[in-house]
Amino acid sequence: MIRAPFARPVRGLCTTRFGGVGRRPFDSLNLGAGVGDDPADVETNRARLEALLPARPCWLRQVHGSRVIHLDEWVAGIEADAAWTDRPGQVACVLAADCLPILVAERGGGCCAVIHAGWRGLAAGVIARTIGELPADPARLQAWIGPRICRDHYEVGPEVRAALNESESAFEPVRPGHWLADLPRIAERQLRDAGAGQVTDSGACTADESRFFSHRRDKRTGRMVACIWLQYRSP
């Protein structure tokens, strides 16, 4: 498990693939339902995660879009790719296995958010939309990009290249009509353009490290989860 570098009262983490009960190819801490794993194993794994948290995570039905919700709006099965809260004890989370899990928090702990950003979400503006929803001065926001696929393992074609509409520096040509896309670099630029005062990248590549699930590397595989929440303050 990886702890995100936030100061109290903000807490954040991202799981690895270790510490669960799942069998190949979902070994072992798969937290994603609907990927073909045994539902009983997923529930056991989720229970293990929940034991570390102040409340049950608010699971989203992620659709690679740009919808952002406040967790007061949350109901089971809600479609969204980002969520935020300003209430202690509510746990925002996203699943990922190459896409970028991004945790955001106001420096004083006034609010926090989680973002699921693949290339579609980046193109749709999910980062700017989330930052715009938060009741905080963007300059006071800290963002952490969790384990994600790195440029060397993310080849894209002209459709993705055009949709992202980024400068040449975010793409490295590898063969005619194909590029290596640097999604973490694109996300960092979008976070800074939205005003985030501090951006930190974990530097961990899901496709390069066996401790992570990676859809692009393994195709049929599990999902990690990134969570963020505000601790209750002492009276």
pLDDT single digits (tens) 173-228? 999 999 999 999 999 999 999 999 999 999 999 999 999 999 999 999 999 999 99
The model's pTM:
0.97
Q: What pLDDT is attached to residue 235? A: 58
**How many CB atoms are closer than 10 A to CB 14?**
25
Q: Let me know if residue 152 belongs to a domain.
A: no
With a cut of 80, say whether residue 234 has pLDDT above it. Answer: no
Cα–Cα distance measured from residue 26 to residue 21, given in angstroms and rounded to the nearest whole number: 9
Residue 98 pLDDT grade (very low, low, confident, very high; cuts 50, 70, 90) = very high
Q: What is the mean pLDDT of residues 48-69?
A: 98
Q: What pLDDT is attached to residue 165? A: 85
Q: Let me know if residue 154 belongs to a domain.
A: no
Residue 160 pLDDT grade (very low, low, confident, very high; cuts 50, 70, 90) = very high
Kindly report the average pLDDT of the chain as a whole number: 97
Q: Let me know if residue 186 belongs to a domain.
A: no
In tens, the pLDDT along 20-45 reads: 999 999 999 999 999 999 999 999 99
For residue 131, give its domain range: 2-147+196-230
Cα–Cα distance measured from residue 118 to residue 71, given in angstroms and rounded to the nearest whole number: 22
In tens, the pLDDT along 101-159 reads: 999 999 999 999 999 999 999 999 999 999 999 999 999 999 999 999 999 999 999 99
SS3 53: coil
Cα–Cα distance measured from residue 183 to residue 27, given in angstroms and rounded to the nearest whole number: 26
Q: Let me know if residue 67 belongs to a domain.
A: yes
CB 49 within 8 A of CB 225: yes
Q: Which residues, 6+ apart, have CB-to-CB distance to 97 below 8 Å?
A: 32, 206, 212, 213, 214, 215, 221, 222, 223, 224
Q: Let me know if residue 127 belongs to a domain.
A: yes
CA–centroid distance for 149 within its chain? 11
- Domain of 120, CATH number, reads 3.60.140.10
Q: What is the mean pLDDT of residues 78-86?
A: 99
- Count the domains in the chain: 1
Q: Give the relative orientation of helices 183-193 and 126-133 as an angle to the nearest 10 degrees.
A: 30
Sign of the C-alpha dihedral computed for residues 52, 207, 142 and 164 taken in this order: negative
Q: Let me know if residue 222 belongs to a domain.
A: yes
Cis geometry, peptide bond prior to residue 210 (ω within 30 degrees of 0)? no
Q: Let me know if residue 189 belongs to a domain.
A: no
With a cut of 70, say whether residue 163 has pLDDT above it. Answer: yes
SS3 210: coil
Q: What is the mean pLDDT of residues 92-97?
A: 99
